[in-house]
Each structure stands twice: as C-alpha cells, then as structure tokens.
C-alpha cells in the first residue's frame, strides 16, 4: 500500500469551488439579452432601410452626413455580397446605469472569419440602442469590402 509523502500537496478532491459563469448583474441592473442585441444590430445594418428610419436605434440619432454615408456604404456592401451577415453576441456586461457592453462577432460571406468588436449599448426609455460611436464602428465593420 502506497502512502503520500508527508508535506506533499493533497490531490484535488473535487470539493473546491469550480469556475462559474460571470456573476449576475447587481440587483436593479437591467441588461439586454443576446437576442435583443442581435435584432438591434440587424436593424442598424439593414441596407434596404434608410438611416432616417433608424434614428431611434442610435443614441443621439444619426446626422444627415453620417446617415447618407452609412446608407451608401451599406448598399455598396450589399451589392458586393457582404450580406447576409450574422451577429453573435457574448460577454454582455454592465457599463454604468442604463448601459452595457458586449462582444459582437460579425460574420458573413465576404469575411475570412468573424470580426469581433466590443460595442456599447444604452437603455433609453426601456429600449436598448447603440451608443453613437459603437454604431459607427458597427457600420464600418459591416461594410468592409475585401
């Protein structure tokens, strides 16, 4: 019969805490779910819809210059075959009152692999919208042509 050497570390017995999912948000912190954010991302990048109908999807709205540019880039990417694109949302974290961030992997027929962006979202009156700079980053990534 073998005995462990005195002072040797004991083998792991399985009773110690195991890694777990990220802790839940603090009480009262409302976070969006991945489906809500994927729906929002699809709406913002819809090449068939003018920026004027997307004003309520972006914090602070979209200026005419940005909107016309985004519409042009989305249509060009559509003609280039970038769409349909897929969005995979993970790691949703609180980012202050009525705010959250999430990792968004963007994939599609013209992407060699998913492009991941950390985007910010804001809860405005019970609706999650993209933070303005994140909306610009999303459009830039979604319309990249190879």
pLDDT tens, residue by residue, 3-59: 555 555 555 555 555 555 555 545 556 899 999 999 999 999 999 999 999 999 999
The total number of structural domains in the chain stands at: 1
Residue 27, pLDDT score: 52
Distance CA 80, CA 144 (A): 10
Tell me whether residue 112 is in a domain.
yes
Tell me how far the alpha carbon of residue 9 is from its chain's centroid: 43
Tell me whether residue 16 is in a domain.
no
Tell me whether residue 82 is in a domain.
yes
Residue 111, pLDDT score: 81
Q: Check whether the bond before 25 is cis (ω within 30° of 0).
A: no
Q: Higher model confidence: residue 113 or residue 132?
A: 132
- Rounding to the nearest 10 degrees, give the CA dihedral for residues 58, 63, 68, 72: -40
Tell me whether residue 92 is in a domain.
yes
3-state helix, strand, coil in the chain (%, to 5): 30, 25, 45
Tell me whether residue 40 is in a domain.
yes
Residue 144, pLDDT score: 84
pTM of the model: 0.79
Domain boundaries, position 112:
34-142
CATH code (residue 71): 3.10.450
Residue 86, pLDDT score: 94
pLDDT tens, residue by residue, 79-112: 999 889 999 999 999 999 999 999 999 999 988 7
- CA-based nearest residue to 146, from 75, 85, 82: 82
Tell me whether residue 15 is in a domain.
no
Tell me whether residue 125 is in a domain.
yes
Tell me whether residue 38 is in a domain.
yes
- Helix (H/G/I), strand (E/B), else coil: 84: coil
Q: How many Cβ atoms are within 10 Å of 50's Cβ, its own excluded?
A: 13
């Amino acid at each position: 019969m073998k005995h462990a050497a005195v002072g040797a570390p004991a083998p792991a017995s399985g009773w110690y805490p195991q890694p777990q999912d990220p802790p839940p948000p603090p009480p009262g912190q409302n976070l969006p779910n991945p489906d809500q954010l994927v729906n929002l991302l699809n709406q913002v990048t819809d090449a068939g819809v003018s920026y004027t109908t997307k004003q309520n999807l972006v914090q602070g709205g979209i200026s005419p210059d940005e909107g016309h540019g985004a519409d042009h880039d989305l249509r060009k990417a559509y003609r280039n075959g970038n769409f349909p694109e897929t969005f995979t949302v993970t790691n949703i974290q609180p980012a202050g009152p009525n705010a959250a961030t999430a990792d968004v992997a963007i994939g599609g027929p013209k992407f060699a692999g998913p492009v991941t962006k950390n985007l910010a979202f804001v809860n405005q009156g019970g609706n999650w919208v993209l933070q303005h700079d994140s909306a610009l980053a999303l459009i830039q990534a979604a319309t990249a042509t190879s």
